[in-house]
Amino acid sequence: GEQLSQEDYSVMLDYLTDAMTSAENKLKEIGDDKEKLKDFETQMDKNYPYSETFMKNLSSAKDLDDANKKKLQELFAKAITISMQMSGR
């Protein structure tokens, strides 16, 4: 219930960017193997358990500074790219 600071937002953005980069690299490695994709999704949930919570907090944040807004835009762009890769499988 506390007000989040810009540093809090930055840490969340870095965490999510790391998760997206990891996902992007792993998806390239997996290719079209459906079984490996299922295992990958389970592993991502274990490795990045706070992703959903952080995304909710960031999506509703109204007070991001310019640096964090830029990070968020880059994160969303990466998420869209990964989503498109996954939907094509």
Q: How open is the CA angle 73-10-8, to the nearest 5 degrees?
A: 135
- pTM, two decimals, is 0.85
**Segments of the chain scoring below 70 in pLDDT:** 1, 88-89
Q: Are 82 and 27 within 8 A, CB to CB?
A: yes
The whole-number pLDDT of residue 26 equals: 87
Give helix 34-47 / helix 6-30 axis angle, nearest 10°: 160
How confident is the model at residue 22, as a pLDDT? 92
- Which three-class secondary structure state does DSSP give residue 33? coil
